[in-house]
Amino acid sequence: MKIKEIIVVEGKDDTTAIKRAVEADTIETNGSALNEETIEKIILAKEKRGVIIFTDPDFPGEKIRSEIIRRVPGCKHAFLPKEQAREKLGRGLGVEHAHPDSIRAALSEAQMMNEEAPEEITQDDLVDAGLIGGPGASEKRARLGKILKIGYTNGKQLHKRLKMFQISAQQFAEALNAIQREDHQ
């Protein structure tokens, strides 16, 4: 599988994992040390070939993703569920630990964010659905993110991520129904 876009990853081990899974070029952010030179490379890559941001499913990875979103709008985003990014012994978490099949699936499902999407799902909808502020909300958000392929978010990020990916009220409702069906099996 050849990827046209340039994939932004955190480090060398991520690049190695990507190259085991697909034929692609990468830009490494060197962890959270996202400097101006790296941002310039990402801007150029977006203009020439497009960019897929593929950071680890953890706080530092989301921080890097957010900074790139702010500085280089219009990139695609690939997300890896935490359970697919765990080291076999369970100590490490990141793209470098993912199986090549998981990497290929995440890249093939990469989505474009649209920061100007109309709001369909309200903050109250998220509270009513038990996704914010209640028992089990974190686990429910993780399951929702996996179903909608938007990655894990905390309570504050969820509303913004749903809006940026233009998740409709119908898609949201269908995902919640899928979670309820799983719970009753």
Model pLDDT, residue 184: 83
Residue spans of the domains in the chain: they are: 1-113, 114-185
pLDDT at 143: 93
CATH of segment(s) 1-113: 3.40.1360.10
- Say what the pLDDT of residue 130 is: 93
Quick one: tokens of 80? 């890896």
C-beta atoms surrounding 14 within 10 Å = 25
Q: So what's the pLDDT on residue 133?
A: 86
* Separation CA 87–CA 78 (nearest Å): 19
How does pLDDT run along the chain (185 residues), one tens digit per residue? 899 999 999 999 999 999 999 999 999 998 777 899 999 999 999 999 999 999 999 889 989 998 999 999 889 999 998 888 887 766 788 999 999 999 999 999 887 665 555 567 898 999 999 999 889 999 999 999 989 988 888 888 899 889 878 888 899 999 999 999 988 87
Q: Taking Cα atoms as reference points, which of 145, 146, 148, 149 lies closest to residue 157?
A: 145
Sequence-separated (6 or more) residues with CB below 8 Å from residue 68: 8, 34, 39, 42, 53, 75
Mean pLDDT of the chain: 89
SS3 97: helix
CA-to-CA dists, residue 110 to 3, 57, 70, 103, 148, angstroms: 11, 14, 18, 11, 12
Chain-centre distance of CA 51, in angstroms?
13
- What was the pLDDT predicted at 116? 54
Give the CA dihedral 87, 180, 137, 111, nearest 10 degrees: 60
